[in-house]
Amino acid sequence: MNNPLRFLRRRWTPVAALVLAGAVAMPAAAGQTAEPGGARHLRVMTHNVYFGADLTPALAARDTPSLLAAVSTIWAGVRATDFSARAEGLADEIQKARPDLVGLQEVATWTAAGPGTGPSQDFLAILQRALQRRGLRYVVASTSAGTDVGPIPLTAPCGSTTVGACTLRFQDREVLLVDERAPGLRWSAPRSGVYQARLTVPLPVPGVPPVQVIHGWASVEATQRGVPFRFVTTHLETEQSPAVQRAQAAEFLAGPVSGADNVIAVGDFNSTVDTYQLLTGQLRDAWTASPPGFTCCQAADLANPAPQLTSRIDLVLLGGAAKAERASVVGAEPFRRTAPRYTSDHAGVTADIDWRRPVKKP
């Protein structure tokens, strides 16, 4: 899931069509060329880890009883998609790929309060424990807080018949992880922000303000073997709100990626053709291979027997001297035989980055 408004399952494929048509071939920067060999590649990963349920029923509710029923259904879905199990699969993906930097989206916190509701779930803490069990040392370098809804009354499961005795709160964030053991990598200056362009959704409860669907970004300044760059992770609004999405993309280009000589930007860009062309007018897409590397989306319950990815909206974008040597999709296949069968409704993407060097003049 890409944000609280999952009105349609992802079936958007224009970016893939552009790739197959060769429209995103990565041009060489003016006056620069790549040098073979040299320092170890920098490996980056992006992965939308999925809230765990479709939130649309709550935001589409037209009366209070429908809203309360939807909240209970959502919480049941979150528990069924079992992030504790999925985090083990995600940690395995990270352990196998060993990215130096990781950008994560939809890193939710679900806070359940009251008798019989079941335990709360902090996705970041759960994933960190799974990484630590594997002896991996990924530090949280930067985070950006996003949508925050609740507490909303939870009627089931609840050990009380009093409405409001049990509640549920949902919080979203983007997270940037750095491997503390990555050779030659140094980082500093964590920053984060949220986009002013956002979707507003009214709730059918008197006196309760509308929900603002907030997306943002997180970044660090880094060097790898002496080469400075900015690493940014972000999440844009879905294609169901193209004007908001494009406005956020414009903010992204004018804000967190602006002013850096070298940029590696990763995230769930949800990109329509217009937004994709806006982004790649300034940044280069690391994915230039065929097949097109679909990353979205599995079924909401993560129980589909075979992968059903049909669009590519999770991207690694590069600016300045950053050059992609290769890019790969990770997490597209089931990680176990029973539901939840997939680590997320998205697949992730890894890319190996090298650095272009100035051409030596005679």
Question: Over 50: is that where the pLDDT of 12 sits?
Answer: no
* Average pLDDT of the segment spanning 180-188: 95
Residue range 255-262: mean pLDDT, rounded: 96
Provide mean pLDDT across the span 153-157. 95
pLDDT of residue 49: 98
Phi, psi of 47 (to 5 degrees): -155, 120
CATH fold, domain 14-358, is: Deoxyribonuclease I; Chain A (3.60.10)
pLDDT tens digits, one per residue of 125-153: 999 999 999 999 999 999 999 999 989 99
Write down the domain spans for the chain: 14-358
Indicate the pLDDT class of residue 358, thresholds 50, 70 and 90: low
Burial group, residue 99, by CB count within 10 angstroms (0-12, 13-18, 19+): buried
pLDDT tens digits along 221-247: 999 988 999 999 999 999 989 999 999
The Cα–Cα gap between 5 and 59 comes to: 7
More confident residue, 289 or 272: 272
User: Looking at the predicted structure, is the pLDDT value of residue 6 above 50?
Assistant: no
> Which pLDDT score is estimated for 321?
95
For residues 352 and 290, the model is more confident at 352
Percentage, residues of the chain above pLDDT 90: 78
Each residue's pLDDT tens digit, 20-54? 333 333 333 322 223 333 446 899 999 999 999 99
